[in-house]
Structure formats: C-alpha cells, structure tokens
Amino acid sequence: MQLSKTEEELMNILWQQQKAFLKDLLNAYPDPKPANTTIATLLKRMTDKGFVAYKSYGRSREYYPTVKKKDYFSKHVNGLIKNFFNDSASQFASFFTQETNLSKTELEELKAMIDKELEKK
C-alpha cells in the first residue's frame, strides 16, 4: 500500500519527529499551515493503512510511525523498478545516471558505492 503525496509529506514530518501530538505536527508545517481537521483526516487514513499508530493520553493522541522511512522508500523504489524498468535494476541505474544531471563527483561516489557492494558479494 502506498501513501498519497500529502500523506507522504506528513509522514516525513512524523519520521523526523519520531513521535508527536497533532499540534506538534501542525507546527512543523510551513505557512500557510493546513487545518487541524486536514491533519487529523490524514492521520486517520495513515492509521487505517497501517503506517501510523498512536498512544492515547486522555483525549490527546501521540502519533508514531509504524514503518521505517528506509523500508518505505526501498519498497517504493523497487516498485518503480518493477513497473517502469521491466524489473531491471540496470535499466533503472542507466536512466538514473543519464537523466539526473549528476556531477562527476557524484558519479564517482556512486561508483565507489557500487564497487564496495561488489566486494561484499
């Protein structure tokens, strides 16, 4: 299951804060801030999807992510590779390196990461 763009935006805030009350999440948004009801609706949807849980303190709820950012991102990227690059990581890497205007330094860093992974295998 995936998050919508607005849910991902809120999820990024929650990943940064690790746990937060609704007012804390609202304060983390830049101006103009969304309405309390908008954030509450997003949190309800994200809870229903299993991305967020909460602890109740009286009438207040402290929300926390149930999915790690790395795990969500990894699943998302693997889905992109499967759906848009015929399940070929090399096609994805080719597209990524050619279409993202990486600098020479960034390409060298990427090559070093790949070399390091090759040594492990």
DSSP 43-98: HHHHHHHTSEEEEEETTEEEEEESS-HHHHHHHHHHHHHHHHSTT-HHHHHHHHHH
All domains in the chain, ordered by first residue = 5-65 (1.10.10.10), 69-120 (no CATH)
The predicted pLDDT at position 84 comes to: 86
* pLDDT exceeds 90 at position 101: no
The predicted pLDDT at position 89 comes to: 85
Mean pLDDT for all residues in the chain: 91
CA distance 90 to 109: 17
pLDDT in tens, 74-90: 888 888 888 888 888 88
φ, ψ (nearest 5 deg) of residue 115: -60, -40
* pLDDT exceeds 90 at position 29: yes
Q: Is 21 helix (H, G, I), strand (E, B) or coil?
A: strand
The predicted pLDDT at position 99 comes to: 85
Share of the chain above pLDDT 90, in %: 57
Supply the pTM of this predicted model.
Answer: 0.75
Classify strands 20-21 and 60-65 as parallel, antiparallel or unpaired: antiparallel
